[in-house]
Amino acid sequence: MSFLLAIFAVIEHLNKSELTTTSKKLIIAYVNEATGLALVEKARTAVRRYTQTVLPSLESIREKSRTVELDALDHLVLKLEYEASRLRK
């Protein structure tokens, strides 16, 4: 559940609005339909499909953190990556 909540948080941040129940069901369907092997790839595909936004890569966030303060989206993407990695184990 925390994995889905992390996806929803990213999308709500990008859309600047709370998701409806119907939207959440659609996003879950997008995750389930995604062809990526890793959960994080499925999540990224669902976010891209729902918001038309490509999330920053984990590597680009790491590089950014060396020079500037991370923004809210960066932190939400890190949370998403963390939740996906927890389920992988």
pLDDT of 89 above 70: no
pTM above 0.85, yes or no: yes
Q: How many folded domains does the chain comprise?
A: 1
* Res 36: pLDDT: 73
Please state, in angstroms and rounded to a whole number, the distance separating the CA atoms of residues 79 and 85.
10
- pLDDT tens digits for range 40-72: 999 999 999 999 999 999 999 999 999 999 999
Closest CA to 80 of 51, 49, 39: 39
Sign of CA dihedral 27, 83, 40, 52: positive
* Res 87: pLDDT: 83
Q: In which domain, by residue range, is 81 found?
A: 2-88
| Mean pLDDT confidence for 8-14 | 98
28-67 CB burial, b ≥16 within 10 A, e <16: eebbeebeeeebbebbbbbbebbeeeebbeeeebeeeeee
pLDDT of 74 above 90: yes
